[in-house]
Amino acid sequence: MFPVPALAQQIEREWASEIASFDVRPPEKVTTDARPWLRFPAGVLRIELMDGSEIRFSYAFYVVSEVRRTIAVFTEHCGHHLYPYHEAKIYRDDVLVYEQV
């Protein structure tokens, strides 16, 4: 398996319970259902990190884990990504939807 799909599947397994709360399905279904099953909202997801870096994705959703101190981003075509949540801001179509304080 190519590295990007393998990493995406690994992140899906590790974040199954958090994805399940977003996607309203049991965590075991997250890892057993055939892909593509995730719902990727239209629009732009933008994340500002504490150092001023910005990341933008189309057709993506995010999950914040206070326990992991991490923002997980799941995209339709660009893989899945993990970012530190310290002082991060998340915007959906230029509307602030999350701010870690």
CATH of the domain at 56: 2.30.30
Which residues make beta-bridge pairs with 65? 70
Per-residue pLDDT tens digits for 34-59 = 455 677 889 999 999 999 999 999 99
Domain extent for 66 = 3-99
Side by side, the strands of the sheet bearing 70-75 are: 60-65, 70-75, 80-84
Q: What is the pLDDT of residues 2-32, one digit of tens each?
A: 567 788 888 988 998 888 777 666 666 666 6
| pTM for the whole structure | 0.83
Residues 21, 66: Cα–Cα separation, whole Å: 14
Tally of structural domains, the chain: 1
Distances (CA, A) of 100 to 85, 87, 88: 7, 5, 5
